[in-house]
Structure 1
Amino acid sequence: MSHHFDEEPHNAITDSGIARVIPCKELEMGDPIKWLALGLRDLLKAPLLTIFFGVFFAAIPWFITYLVAMTGWHLVILPAMVCFMLIGPFLAAGLYDISWEFEKGHKPSIWHAIKAVKRNAVNEWGFGIMLMVLMIFWLRVASMIHALYPSYMGNDLEELIPFLVLGTIVGAIFTGIVFLLSAFTQPILMERRVDLGTAVLTSVNAVWLNKGPMFVWAMIIFTTVVIGFLTGFIGFILLMPLIGYATWHGYIDTIETKIERKYE
């Protein structure tokens, strides 16, 4: 019997003896574009399901912005954007299920997609709690940056720039860490009966060993989020499901299986 994990060259964490990690493939720079094309195909095949989930993606940032307008705390927009990017992977479970159903040759349904979170419930909810803790930590950091902002300064852009730059740098580092931890975690938990630690470390390993293609993928996600915000969140109705479907195809493309998938 061959020791598959020991022979796998692209498995940095297992080699260090920290934990079990599912091996990943070496990606090419153009692969994220391919995932996007496959995601678009799924979107066009399931327009009503796409809109159903898309409305939730549009409603959440709208609600955040409404709260900002109510409280008048203008510097909350940046942490709110990061929070949205934190919550996104967990909400995307239903979208992954739709792409998975298409792959199996099944007809996806709303009920089947909603039940997707229950498939590996303990670990999936654990993943949700992990994202929530990260979100709360980020909000504390953001409020500390806000506390540095002197009350006597006005809302003049020139005076705000140092704080916006600081917030952007910290936010970018934080978002990068979250991307590393969660890029493929949710799809792994959905398809495989593995623990949260294995899923998270597999995601970290895959992103770390494919820095170039995964940076392209991160920029695609970031661009869609920016477009969504610029369109007053209307764009999220289609853009976030598109990213969700594409993420599933990215997972299938990146994380290896010992036995070839045979869908009925």
Structure 2
Amino acid sequence: MPKTPYVPPIPPRIRAIDLEDVRAALRAGVDDFKAEPKFGIVIGLIYALAGIAMMAGIGGAAPIWAIIPLMLGFPLVGPFVAVAFYEISRARAEGRAPTWGDVLRLMLAQRNRELVWMAMVVLFVFWIWIYQVRLLLALWLGFAAFSDPASFASVAFTTPAGIGFLINGTIVGGLLALVLFSLTVTAIPLLLDQDRDIVTAMIASVRSVLASPRPMLSWAVFVAICLFIAMLPAFLGLAIALPILGHATWHLYTKTVERSGG
């Protein structure tokens, strides 16, 4: 019996967007949060409490130099948590009233889908983030031991080697964040919304960034600033920032990736 020839899947079509599309997506995200605040606040608080627990757990065990990159790197796993917000936005767009049962069932269903592999990609980049800090610390400051955050800050901000460490760490960390953003910005909502494989989704996500570099990079910077500010009050600001950004990312995806044919 002759074998059926392999037909590669048709990649999603990507639309170019502008800054007004980004602003419209953000406004739609705020509207979704206002319409269904209970989901955002509860899930956002759980995420924030996870950040507090992580910092409390590593506070006495992790070296001083690792605490700041762990805190700054924690939001890198946010896009995976935002799956619930994507579903709420999708339900509202389709005229459905989202329920806790629907949202929780969808989140649990992802354990058997491609989103699990995407989570592994996110966590892999997160660990690279941590280890590149350790490598740069060794290159610039040797294997010096710091007794407290104040002594680490004193060396990092007042010595040529420390400033070199901060500059190079910021550049390398920014590049890693850009890579992760490009791989996931539309890939995670695409995997939720369409029957696609992880490679196709990541390629489509990179293509969406390349098709609209200025709007997409502006969105990346805006997200980074919002998350940084939201973490300052003991991570609690994430209870508001994370759901709004999650809803907005869904709307950005619908403007960027053609959903038909999925």
Band the TM-score falls in, shorter-chain normalisation:
0.7 to 0.9
The residue type equivalent to 2:29 in the other structure is: G
Identify if the C-alpha distance between structure 1 residues 45 and 140 changes in structure 2 by more than 3 Å, giving closer, same or farther.
same
Measured after TM superposition, the shift of residue 68 of structure 1 is 4.6
Q: Which residue of 1 aligns with 2:218?
A: 216
Please tell me the residue identity of whatever aligns with 1:158.
Answer: T
Match of residue 123 from structure 1: 114
Task: Specify the code of the residue in structure 2 equivalent to 1:98.
Answer: I
Q: In structure 2, how many angstroms separate the alpha carbons of the residues matched to 1:213 and 1:91?
A: 23
Q: Bigger CA drift: 61-70 or 95-104? A: 61-70
SS, match of residue 166 in structure 1: helix
- Deviation, structure 1 residue 20: 4.9
Quick one: distance in 2 between partners of 1:82 and 1:171? 10
Residue-by-residue CA offset, 1:28-70 (whole Å, 9 max, x unaligned): 1222111111011011111111111111221232223324532
Provide closer, same or farther for how the CA distance between residues 123 and 198 of structure 1 changes in structure 2, counting only shifts above 3 A: same
2:43 to 31, 53, 62: 53
Query: Cα–Cα, structure 1 residues 152 and 184, in superposed 2: closer, same or farther, change >3 Å?
Result: closer
Aligned to 1:108: 98
* 2:110–2:116 Cα contact (<8 Å) kept: no
Instruction: Quote the Cα distance in structure 2 between the aligned partners of 1:82 and 1:69.
Output: 14
Report the 3-state secondary structure (helix = DSSP H, G, I; strand = E; otherwise coil) of the residue aligned with 2:115. helix
In the superposition, the TM-score normalised over structure 2's length comes to 0.85
- 3-state SS of the aligned residue for 2:59? helix
Matching residue within 192, 195, 217 for 2:197: 195
Whole-angstrom CA distance in 1 between matches of 2:252 and 2:199: 20
User: How far apart, CA to CA, are the structure 1 residues paired with 2:181 and 2:129?
Assistant: 14
SS in 1 for 2:77: helix
Change (3 A) 1:167 1:54: same
Could you say which residue in structure 2 is the equivalent of 1:164?
166
The 5 Å alignment of 1:1-264 reads: 20-71=10-61, 73-117=63-107, 118=109, 121-148=112-139, 149-150=141-142, 151=144, 154-155=151-152, 156=154, 157-159=157-159, 160-258=162-260
User: Tell me, what secondary structure is at the counterpart of 1:70?
Assistant: coil
Asked if the contact 1:87/1:131 (under 8 Å) is kept, the reply is: yes
Displacement of 1:129 after TM fit?
1.3
Runs of 4+ off more than 4 Å = none
CA RMSD of superposed structures (Å): 2.2
Q: Distance in 2 between matches of 1:172 and 1:245?
A: 24
Q: 1:152 to 1:67 in 2, by over 3 A?
A: closer
Matched residue of 1:189: which SS?
A: helix
Q: Distance in 1 between matches of 2:218 and 2:57?
A: 32
Flag structure 1 segments of 5+ consecutive residues without an equivalent.
1-17
> How far apart are residue 111 of structure 1 and its match?
2.4
Number of residues of Structure 1 aligned to a counterpart in Structure 2: 243
Q: 1:169–1:81: structure 2 CA closer, same or farther, 3 Å change rule? A: farther
Please tell me whether the aligned partners of residues 59 and 67 of structure 2 are also in contact (alpha carbons under 8 angstroms). Answer: no
Q: Give the letter for the 2:91 counterpart.
A: E
Deviation of residue 253 (structure 1)?
1.0
Q: Give the letter for the 1:192 counterpart.
A: Q
Q: 1:19–1:169: structure 2 CA closer, same or farther, 3 Å change rule?
A: farther
CA shift in 2, pair 1:111/1:21, >3 Å: same
- What is aligned with 1:7? none
Q: What amino acid sits opposite 1:143 in the alignment? A: R
**Which shifted more, 218-227 or 174-183?**
218-227
Distance 1:66 1:120 in 2: 28
Which structure is higher in RCO with an 8 Å CA cutoff and minimum separation 6?
2
Identity of aligned residues (%): 25
- Residue 4 (structure 1) aligns with: none
* TM-score normalized by the length of structure 1: 0.84
Say if 1:82 and 1:171, in contact at 8 Å, map to a contact too.
no
